[in-house]
Amino acid sequence: MEIILKYFGDFSEKQLQQLAALEPLYRSWNEKINVISRKDIDSLYEKHVLHALGIAVINSFGAGQSVIDIGTGGGFPGIPLAIFFPDTQFHLVDATGKKIKVVEAVAEALKLDNVSTQHARVEDIRDRKFDAAVSRAVAPLATLCRWSKAVLRKKGTLFCLKGGDLHDEISGSGYRPRIYELEHYFPEPFFREKYLLSVTL
């Protein structure tokens, strides 16, 4: 939790309580359903929560906007972003039912009224459009752009968290994303070669 407060301030009391509740909630659920790697659970705030909030450093979602989290897994980046932006609606989607079960339970425990969930493949969502899409290490950039384009309003933006050497993935995608090195914002060893890509579609 301290590492979040090292880089972000100005949280309301409710947000602080929600952030503090994340670790016990995920520890409890992880014992039943493995949604976070066992070796990462001790670094939840750095490797999952702060990583997700890398998107908040670059972009501020507005009140009333809607954001889809593609392949949310255990709720990242969607849950931390929903805490950070309480006036923005987040729709967390994953094809694995047990992961969505965890996300629903966490959102309910935190009283996140701005979170909805859906057990589905994003390719099968045809009835809703969103202002932005977020994702973390779900699929290659070209695939994420294709999926996002189908569910975003015109000029909607995809924000995806990725790591490693992205040269071939970006050059082969046909897109020219803006690339942000997260180590510039969070100078911690974990964030070396961690990037946020932003593409307006």
Binding region for S-adenosyl-L-methionine: 71, 76, 94-96, 122-123, 136
72 token code pair = 């949310």
Bridge partner list, 133: 68, 158
Residue 157's alpha-carbon distances to 61, 97, 106, 153, 160, in angstroms, are 11, 27, 26, 9, 10
- Longest Cα–Cα distance of the chain, Å, equals 45
155: left (phi over 0), alpha (psi -120 to 50) or beta: left
SS3 call for 177: coil
C-alpha neighbours within 13 Å on the C-beta side of residue 180? 18
Residue among 75, 94, 69 at smallest CA distance from 158: 69
How many angstroms from the chain centroid is the CA of residue 8? Answer: 17
Residue numbers belonging to the annotated binding site: 71, 76, 94-96, 122-123, 136
